[in-house]
Structure 1
Amino acid sequence: MHKISGAGEFKHELPSHYVDQLTTKSLSVGTYSIPVGETDDQQPHREDEIYVVTTGRATLVTPSRTELIGPGDVLFVPAEEPHRFVDVTEDLALLVFFAPPYTGRHPDLPHPADAS
């Protein structure tokens, strides 16, 4: 059992800030913070993602839809789907769950889970 203190708390770092808080063989979890008015410049990931909005408000944009998001919302983004948080109107903090674990690599690079 692990207790992750501070997970989901907004960290005021510019322009945005991701903190990896736990990594296991099958998943990882971290907190992503985006201050008001800042731009989310992330690239698509090789991992499936679940976001849990802990604080703040913004809009999540994907090729298929646009969603206003706020505290308590849970969002699923499949691996390799382009997505971006825009119009951050309140400091945004998200718990982010990746499966398999996030590697921090560009989607065109080999992923450790793909190794035979």
Structure 2
Amino acid sequence: MEIIDSGRFRPAPDGSAHYAEHLSVPALSFGTYSLPAGRTDDQSPHLQDEVYVVTRGRARFTSGGRTVDVGPGSSLFVPAREEHRFHDITEDLVALVFFAPAYSGVPGPAEPA
């Protein structure tokens, strides 16, 4: 068993978004994603399905042509290769991120036209 502190805000040294992986096995990986208030989320689509669970902060999230307000307790599913991002971040944001299969670190291609 491993106990993981997944709720702390951890921006990158330059104050930008930060992803910290905590667990990776072939079928699944898990990490935390921290985004400072006022910053832009510039991630690219991934090759894996993804679930976010917001544990701290407030923002808006756009994926699949839909935009929603998110805050602590919001859960979001993003299918592989779908464009998505957090934006209008009004409070430092922390989200638990689950990838299936495990995150490879390689961005996926955009959805085919």
Q: Give the 5 Å matches for 1:1-116.
A: 1-4=1-4, 6-13=5-12, 14-108=15-109
If the length of structure 1 is used for normalisation, what is the TM-score? 0.88
State the SS of the aligned residue for 2:40. coil
Measured in 2, the distance between the counterparts of 1:8 and 1:103 equals 23
Which residue does 1:113 correspond to in 2?
none
Give 1:106 shift: 2.3
Q: Report the residue type matching 2:32 in the other structure.
A: T
If the length of structure 2 is used for normalisation, what is the TM-score? 0.90
Post-superposition CA distance 1:18-71 (Å, at most 9, x none): 000000121000000000001100000000000000000000012320010000
Measured in 1, the distance between the counterparts of 2:107 and 2:71 equals 28
- Structure 1 residue ranges, 4+ long, deviating more than 6 angstroms after superposition: none
Gaps of 5+ in 2: none
RMSD: 1.0
Measured in 2, the distance between the counterparts of 1:104 and 1:23 equals 12
How many residues matched?
107
Q: Percent of pairs identical after alignment? A: 53
Gaps of 5+ in 1: 109-116
Measured in 2, the distance between the counterparts of 1:61 and 1:17 equals 19
Post-superposition CA distance 1:54-107 (Å, at most 9, x none): 000000012320010000111101110100100000000000000000011021
